[in-house]
């Protein structure tokens, strides 16, 4: 490649980055994970609206424009947002209304793996002119994931039940990013043959997991740990291997929170494994 061609390509790259940064200065995020991603990309100054579940943004006094299920479209339009970030669960009619108002709406699907989390994060970074920062974060996250996974060794693959809901009891399924926690720990998901996440206590007891992880659900998580601990036939109960995991980390699909969760899980299983 000649110096002239290289210089032209460099100019195009920087021009595209500048346009992205200049174009989207008033961003609304309708998903906690996307909001958190903006903070990791140091783009929080451009965030003008969030949901009532975006804790970091709320603590930063960002305007709440949506609940978990409903967005205040009139408010978003009145705030003159130029980019709205949404997940696949958002009502298509709401997306269409915002687009008709001349607002760009970027739709993200729920990632099915750590790899998809990373690719979506880079896409968001490119969209707002922070592509290089996004790629740096992804590279570091991938390196740390590899280090954690390689540091876990089992004589026999353990069984894990990862609970993410109660009443009814709900399990992490395969083909979801949270199943990657189990896979990278070198373990097997007791729900790997299921198509739906709702399970009974009898199902869990019959599968007899070695570990039970419960995503925080307020006081419900503490109650669930007590409930499972009562079943002395369960290996996880008998060995004291029932743990509550922060849902603000575990259920938040960003490269950073994924790594933090895997580090916590890795320390737990390594500590328990070394004791046995």
CATH number, residue 97: 3.40.50.1980
Q: Which two tokens stand for residue 142?
A: 């991938």
Judgement on whether residues 120 and 169 belong to the same structural domain of the protein: no
Which one of 142, 173, 192 terminates a domain? 142
Predicted pLDDT at 58: 82
Could you tell me if 26 and 135 lie in one domain?
yes
Domain that holds residue 74: 19-142
Identify whether residues 257 and 232 lie together within a single domain: yes
Phi, psi of 23 (to 5 degrees): -70, -40
The reply to whether 168 and 263 lie within a common domain is: yes
CA distances in angstroms from 227 to 185, 217, 230, 246, 272, listed in the order given:
25, 14, 6, 19, 21
- Same-domain status, 137 and 178: no
158 and 116 belong to one structural domain:
no
Q: What pLDDT sits at residue 59?
A: 86
pLDDT at 163: 96
The answer as to whether 5 is a domain residue is: no
Together in a domain, 234 and 176: yes
Can you give the pLDDT at residue 90? Answer: 84
Residue 8 in domain: no
Say whether both 126 and 36 belong to one domain: yes
130's enclosing H/E stretch is none
Which pLDDT score, from 0 to 100, does residue 9 have? 46
Q: What is the mean pLDDT of each run of 10 residues along the chain (276 residues)?
A: 49 48 84 96 95 87 86 94 91 93 95 98 97 98 97 93 92 96 97 95 97 86 94 95 95 96 94 59
Q: Where are the beta strands (DSSP E) in the chain?
A: 27-29, 47-51, 63-66, 83-87, 104-108, 159-165, 169-171, 188-189, 198-199, 211-215, 242-245
Report if residue 196 sits inside a domain: yes
On whether both 268 and 167 belong to a single domain, the answer is: yes
What pLDDT is attached to residue 21? Answer: 52
């Amino acid at each position: 490649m000649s110096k002239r061609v290289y210089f032209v390509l460099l100019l195009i790259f920087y021009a595209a980055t500048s346009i992205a940064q200049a174009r989207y200065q008033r961003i609304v995020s309708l998903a906690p994970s996307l909001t958190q991603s903006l903070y990791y990309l140091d783009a929080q100054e451009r965030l003008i609206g969030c949901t009532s579940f975006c804790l970091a943004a709320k603590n930063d006094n960002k305007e709440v424009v949506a609940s978990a299920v409903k967005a205040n479209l009139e408010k978003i339009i009145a705030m003159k947002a130029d980019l709205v970030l949404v997940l696949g669960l958002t009502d298509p009619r709401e997306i269409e209304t915002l687009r008709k108002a001349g607002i760009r709406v970027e739709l993200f699907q729920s990632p099915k793996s750590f790899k998809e989390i990373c690719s979506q994060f880079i896409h968001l970074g490119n969209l707002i002119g922070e592509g290089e920062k996004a790629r740096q974060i992804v590279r570091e996250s991938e390196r740390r994931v590899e280090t954690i996974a390689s540091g876990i060794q089992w004589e026999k693959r353990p069984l894990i039940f990862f609970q993410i809901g109660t009443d009814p009891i709900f399990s992490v399924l395969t083909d979801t990013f949270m199943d990657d926690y189990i896979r990278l720990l070198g373990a097997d998901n007791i729900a790997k043959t299921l198509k739906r996440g709702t399970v009974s206590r009898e199902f869990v007891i019959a599968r007899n997991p070695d570990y039970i992880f419960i995503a925080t659900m307020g006081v419900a998580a503490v109650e669930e740990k007590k409930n499972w601990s009562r079943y002395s036939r369960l290996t996880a109960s008998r060995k004291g291997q029932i743990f509550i995991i922060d849902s603000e980390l575990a259920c938040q699909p960003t490269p950073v929170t994924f790594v933090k969760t895997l580090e916590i899980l890795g320390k737990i299983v390594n500590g328990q494994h070394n004791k046995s």
